[in-house]
Amino acid sequence: MAVRKGHTHDRRILVLHGPNLNLLGEREPEIYGRVTLHQIDAELRRLGEELGAAVDTFQSNSEGALVDRIQAARGQYQALVINPAAYTHTSVAIRDAIQMLGIPVVEVHLSNVYRREPFRHHSTIADVVDGRIMGFGPNSYYLALRAAAALAGARGEEQ
């Protein structure tokens, strides 16, 4: 869906990045690649424009800060894309916040967690999100944004 010039965004999508993702491009490039989080965020905003959605991004190493942002998203955003990173496997607090959110949520991971250590195979949020995309490097985020925009659009048409 192309956006007409001067078209106001009818959708706002929040993208949250969990711990250590601020080190993308430097940290374990054999797993996560060389693209930086800044580059991913810039492409997400550009793609959002193409999809007719304003995209806001936020990264934190703090579980509480991520929960605060999820809670603050209520009534402000039409969809959430989240890479909880290490909190994927441990955070009941993030799970509870997502469960109360009431908008489409897409879980995203750069790597295919099932090709990694067994402890990474469990996601505390998998059963409370609309979908999961993983294993495509930075493209995982772009696919997740497209899915979130489509879900937000479908939800908007139902209301």
Instruction: Give residue-wise pLDDT tens across range 126-152.
Output: 999 999 999 999 999 999 999 999 999
Phi, psi of 132 (to 5 degrees): -135, 135
Annotated active-site positions, please?
32, 109
For the chain, give the percent of residues with pLDDT over 90.
73
Q: How far is CA 98 from the centre of its chain?
A: 12
Is 120 among the domain residues?
A: yes
Domain membership flag for residue 31: yes
Q: What is the pLDDT of residues 90-102, one digit of tens each?
A: 899 999 999 999 9
Cα gap 147→40, rounded to integer Å: 16
Indicate the pTM of the whole model. 0.89
In the three-class reduction of DSSP (H, G, I as helix; E, B as strand; rest coil), residue 51 is classed as: helix
Q: Which residue has the tokens 């999961």?
A: 132
Residue 5 lies in a domain: no
Q: What mean pLDDT is reported for the chain?
A: 89
Where does the pLDDT of residue 86 fall: very low under 50, low under 70, confident under 90, or very high at 90 and above?
very high
Cα 75 from chain centre: 17
6 in a domain, yes or no? no
β-bridge pairing 11-17 and 79-83: parallel
3-state helix, strand, coil in the chain (%, to 5): 50, 20, 35
Say if residue 8's pLDDT is above 50.
Answer: no
Q: What is the mean pLDDT of residues 47-64?
A: 97
Give the domain CATH number at 22: 3.40.50.9100
Work out whether the CA dihedral 63, 68, 74, 77 comes out positive or negative: negative
| H or E segment and range at residue 11 | strand 11-17
Q: What domain range includes position 48?
A: 11-154
The DSSP result for 97-133, as a single string, is HHHHH-S-EEEEESS-GGGS-GGGG--SSGGGSSEEE
In a domain, 4, yes or no: no
Evaluate whether residue 2 is within a structural domain.
no
